Structure 1
Amino acid sequence: MTSEPTGPSTTQLRASHSFQARPAQLCSSTVATMAPSKPASPPTNKRKIDAPISPPPVKRTAQSSISKSAVSSFFTPTSQKPKERIQWSERAADDDTPATLLVGRYEPEKLGESDRRKRRKIAAFDLDSTLITTASGKKHGDDPGDWKWWDSKVPARLRQLYKDEDYQVVILSNQAGLALHPDPNSKGPKNLGRNRVTKFKQKCSAVLTQLDLPTTLYAATGKDIFRKPRTGMWKEVCEDYDIPQDEVDLENSIFIGDAGGRTAQLKTGSTSAVAKDFSCSDRNFAHNVGVPYKTPEEYFLGAKSRDFSRDFDLAIYPYPETADGADVVFEKKHDQDVVLFVGPPGAGKSTFYWKHLKPLGYERINQDTLKSRARCFKAAGEALASGASVAVDNTNPDADGRAEWVALARKHQVPVRCVWFRTPLGLCEHNDVVRALNRPLNPEARTALPKLAFNGFAARFKEPKAKEGFEDVVEVEFRFRGSKDEYAIWGRYWT
């Protein structure tokens, strides 16, 4: 008799081939069904049926977002870490307002005795379009790395000023696009302002590190005393470097910035034009401080100066030397009447009232204090009913609005007169800011108005005429009315 074969049967081999091709979870049941009654020695090339059929997934190492240098820095003692070259701080205009001035003070790794001495000559520079510009060509670069020197001569000239000519070099920049303390109630992304400040710091750190001079950068982010042409940043420079303002060598100090009020002009030998400057704030700042001014082209490239103009020129409004009595332009003609003011914000209407009409017994009707036009009419009606005269201290730009006051005067059977303040808008903006930023000149604690308020008046304004129902129209040209000490404040550029 022939013996039974010891290897697997044909049926077993087919079963083995069949379950190897099936998913792993089916293998155990298949083996249980098709296994022989007696165990047989499997061939050497047979795979183990209880092993996973598919290859196991490859284990991937998790990528950490923490760099090795960051880990190393974390475990490095503070005393062994490299010193941060630039120290940032924030400052406020007063104790009642949040900080708006960002200050970054840079110190090189090694400071010598010459770096610690007091320097009385100050070379101050604007930042954008003066020391640096965007590498991409964009007007405003958002990327901290999107910058290059305005000209290749810039860093060498600044080092020469500091090392060879004994100047204290500082940077003074208006940065209204930054917000150190954003309004939590404002609309839009909550972290946008914070992100912009972070990127600005990164860019400035790169600029100052490459320059590598002991210097300080001041960035005015608000529209307060720190913003050029106002002199708040200059005052901070003098205090930070322990130089009394009256001890600064103003004659040999200098300020360089691109906002010089330059007018548009044709390029030499070309039909294309050089655009006008966006403002005159840098030139006006230098005037306020009392130092010479140059544009970047003049200072770094030796270019000739260009024509410039100001929207508001202080030279037109010197301190009046005539006696106050010569300034009286208004007299009361009736026992009772209505006087209607017409003029933009900041035209001097309220000052005129307190100086000339209040002593004559006029009751003041003012929408800033009464808060609504309806309340103004109500208060005026009550005053007229009681026998008093009233002065309507509002802007009253259009004939339709003025007609309502004429009608009120007729209702109470009293004459109505008009006082027209013919003050240029640029001068009005100046007056408004002077008042808002100087408490002694701001008894009603008014805040500065947006430019929209002045443009809105100009869009609605119609020249007042006697035919509207006025007994007369008295025109008042602007004239500074105040002491010499007050003029010392007023007679600087503020816008």
Structure 2
Amino acid sequence: MTPPRQPAKRKQSTLDAPVSPPPLRRKVQSTTTQTAVASFFTPASQKPPEKVVWQERAPNDDTPNTLLVGKYEPANDPVSTPNEHESGRKKLAAFDFDSTLIETASGKKFASDSQDWKWWHPSVPGKLRKMHLEDGYRIVVVSNQGGVSLKPNTKAPKTQTSKVASFKEKVSAVFNQLDIPMSIYAATEKDIFRKPRTGMWAEVLDDYDIQPDLEQCIFVGDAGGRHAEGRKPKDFSCSDRNFAENIGIKFQTPEEFFLSEAPRPFTRIFEPSDYLPESAAEAIAPFVKKNDIDIVIFCGSPGAGKSTFYWKFLKPLGYARVNQDILKTRAKCFKVAGDYLSEQKSVVVDNTNADIEVRSKWIELAAKYSVPIRCVLFTAAAQICEHNDAVRALNNTMNPEERQILPGIAFSSFKGRYKPPKVSEGFQDIIEIPFKFEGTEAERAIWLRHWI
């Protein structure tokens, strides 16, 4: 059998389906699964038609594909009349996939194969069909799938079914049983597509070319931040609830939506609005220059606001900046800082400077050039730092240096090395800076969403 031709990267889809990405952005994948290949010699009358069309998409034209999109169209949709299409469906019902629509049949946390699934509750398929056939909803599935990778695995045996293929087979089985028009959006990496970030929702709206009635839309998911209750464990996160809040639509858990159970108490472990200044008096105080020439070293986690503080307060005072993310090595930082001091320029060391050993090297450099050294300590907690890092990396307007999102180890590494600075180390003084958000109204609206 001639293998299916793979389209070029981001080739425009030629389907007449609602999912119709623009050119130079997405590509359509082959719909041929390993199951289809294995059943090649099965008589056509005994084989179900392959109804799910798959695509891979990237956050932008310069990054790999990380979003997997599958679109299902039944052979006959009794409500897809011309009048219905003209008026459009303004109501969207979005669902998480695992532990919301389905769960493992084996009882394991993760499915062992593509057949290891059953409905989360027997009422699920009937409820979804009613929503589409009688209540006028578009049905979409929006799911984080960190265990699925779109990167080619060259080391895996050719006969081994990949996780992507297994996931597609499971989705196809679920959608074939429902047999209503619906799509699935699966985020495979920790980028703009991953919930609670709203990248997948933006794709949904773009694909269906609609402005939904948000008051009638709903998102159902199991990650609601619920407390443990009786034999029911606490939720592993609050990402689904936060996703719905970011969009501005109603949220319910599967128990509330399918079983009409009363809501359980929940807690968000992090709320961005807690870090807004309540008044002008709470805003970050400006930096006061004390010396003609000196070194100022920053100490704080990635994402604590160090670079923003430099651009706002120290650059206007004539301080030159040394940053290891830009210069790449610590040795280069020391050399460049020494060059600036030789030119009678004050220097800001915009690095994390977490431990005493690193800070002592800067104190030695200050002594070599006979200048005072001061320390600015940024006290933001880990979660606000991770939030800030995500906002910066995923929003071009707030990322002037085009930084990439940091891995979790960057924050845990800082925590493991951190020793609070003390004046006795050799500093002229230590200034503590708690984090409070400052920015335009547009930046504030972006920053107040849930990003982690």
TM range, smaller chain:
0.7 to 0.9
1:333 corresponding residue in structure 2:
290
- What is the one-letter code of the residue matched to 1:258? D
Which is worse superposed, 340-349 or 302-311? Answer: 302-311
Displacement, 1:100? 1.4
Displacement, 1:367? 0.6
Looking at structure 2, the residues matched to 242 and 385 of structure 1 have their Cα atoms a distance apart, in angstroms, of 60
Looking at structure 2, the residues matched to 221 and 67 of structure 1 have their Cα atoms a distance apart, in angstroms, of 27
- Count of residue correspondences: 412
1:86 corresponding residue in structure 2:
52
Pairwise CA RMSD of aligned residues?
2.4
1:276 corresponding residue in structure 2:
234
2:132 corresponding residue in structure 1:
162
1:198 corresponding residue in structure 2:
165
- What is the one-letter code of the residue matched to 1:200? F
Q: After TM superposition, list the pairs within 5 Å mapping 1:401-420 onto structure 2.
A: 401-420=358-377
Residue of structure 2 aligned with 1:251, choices 205, 215, 220: 215
Residue of structure 1 aligned with 2:77, choices 102, 111, 126: 111
| TM-score normalised by structure 1 residue count | 0.78
Matched, 1:297 2:255: yes
In 1, are the aligned partners of 2:225 and 2:268 still within 8 Å (CA)?
yes
Which is worse superposed, 207-216 or 438-447? Answer: 438-447
Matched, 1:216 2:173: no
- What is the one-letter code of the residue matched to 2:259? L
Q: Identity, % of aligned pairs?
A: 54
Matched, 1:427 2:384: yes
In 2, are the aligned partners of 1:348 and 1:478 still within 8 Å (CA)?
yes
Displacement, 1:276? 2.3
- What is the one-letter code of the residue matched to 1:209? N
Looking at structure 2, the residues matched to 233 and 456 of structure 1 have their Cα atoms a distance apart, in angstroms, of 31
When Rg is computed on C-alpha atoms for both structures, the one with the higher figure is: 1
State the secondary structure of the residue aligned to 1:486: helix
Q: After TM superposition, list the pairs within 5 Å mapping 1:17-416 onto structure 2.
A: 70=41, 72-73=43-44, 84-114=50-80, 117=85, 118-182=88-152, 188-189=155-156, 195-244=162-211, 248-265=212-229, 267=230, 274-318=232-276, 322=280, 327-416=284-373
Displacement, 1:101? 1.3
| TM-score normalised by structure 2 residue count | 0.86
State the secondary structure of the residue aligned to 1:103: strand
Displacement, 1:398? 1.5
- What is the one-letter code of the residue matched to 1:492? R
In structure 2, relative to structure 1, the CA distance for the partners of 1:153 and 1:198 (3 Å cut) is same
Looking at structure 1, the residues matched to 285 and 324 of structure 2 have their Cα atoms a distance apart, in angstroms, of 26
- What is the one-letter code of the residue matched to 1:427? I
- Superposed CA deviations along residues 445-487 of structure 1, whole A, max 9, x for unmatched, are 1111111111111122122221221111111111212211122
State the secondary structure of the residue aligned to 2:162: helix
- What is the one-letter code of the residue matched to 1:142? S
State the secondary structure of the residue aligned to 2:177: helix
Displacement, 1:151? 0.9
1:479 corresponding residue in structure 2:
436
In structure 2, relative to structure 1, the CA distance for the partners of 1:438 and 1:473 (3 Å cut) is same
In 1, are the aligned partners of 2:272 and 2:384 still within 8 Å (CA)?
no
- Superposed CA deviations along residues 78-127 of structure 1, whole A, max 9, x for unmatched, are xxx97532211122211111221111111112123446531111110000
- What is the one-letter code of the residue matched to 1:226? F
In structure 2, relative to structure 1, the CA distance for the partners of 1:303 and 1:446 (3 Å cut) is same
- Superposed CA deviations along residues 250-298 of structure 1, whole A, max 9, x for unmatched, are 1121101111122334x0xxxxx53322221111100110001111122
Q: Unaligned stretches of 5+ in structure 2?
A: 1-36
